[in-house]
Amino acid sequence: MSKEAIERVSIIISKGSLEGVYPGLIMANGARMEGIEANLFFTFFGMDAINKSHYENIKVAAVGNPGLHIPTLLGCIPGMSALITSQMNKTMAKLDIPPIPEFLEMIADSGAGIYACQATVEMFKLKKENFISQLSGIITVGEFYQMAAGGQIVFT
């Protein structure tokens, strides 16, 4: 069985929580480190990761998150999300995983594209000025598929 090398990956980030954003960033960074073309497509609440007014304050979703292994009721306690986020950020810092703003800058500097979904931008009444300077563009789903053609698409 022959294995074909992946040459291009397009990663869709649709969740606005820490655990929803980081997998896509890690995968895009890893792709670029392997010489694989990478594009990130942010849609719905995932766009908080590229929105200048939100991207420094993304938190872990504490309510209804089975990966935390805590009862949903505990996730509702005021400050629980902030506490879990703080612990997660400390652990990631020890592992030398950069915060989201720095990670996005690294990924963009490596040549990866960072795109916002036009339909979501319109739905949330956002403008290009709302986004980080590394934004490559605001594109339609059709344009995303054209860009992704011939490569792998990953939905995180």
Token pair recorded at residue 102: 């720095």
Please say if the pLDDT value at position 3 is more than 90.
no
At residue 156, the pLDDT reads: 86
Task: Tell me 67's DSSP state.
Answer: G
Architecture of domain 8-57+96-155: 3-Layer(aba) Sandwich (3.40)
- Residue 153: which pLDDT band, with cuts at 50, 70 and 90? very high
Q: Residue with structure tokens 């694989």?
A: 36
> What contacts 24+ positions apart, CB below 8 Å, involve 28-31?
28/107, 28/112, 29/103, 29/106, 29/107, 29/110, 31/6, 31/112
At residue 47, the pLDDT reads: 96
Task: Find the mean pLDDT for residues 127-141.
Answer: 97
How much is the pTM?
0.90
- 137 or 62, which is more confident: 137
User: How is the chain split into domains, by residue range?
Assistant: 8-57+96-155
Dump pLDDT digits (tens) for 104-124.
Answer: 999 999 999 999 999 999 999
At residue 146, the pLDDT reads: 96
Dump pLDDT digits (tens) for 5-39.
Answer: 899 999 999 999 999 999 999 999 999 999 999 99
Dump pLDDT digits (tens) for 34-49.
Answer: 999 999 999 999 999 9
- 69 or 92, which is more confident: 92
Contact 98, 21 (CB under 8 A): no
At residue 1, the pLDDT reads: 54
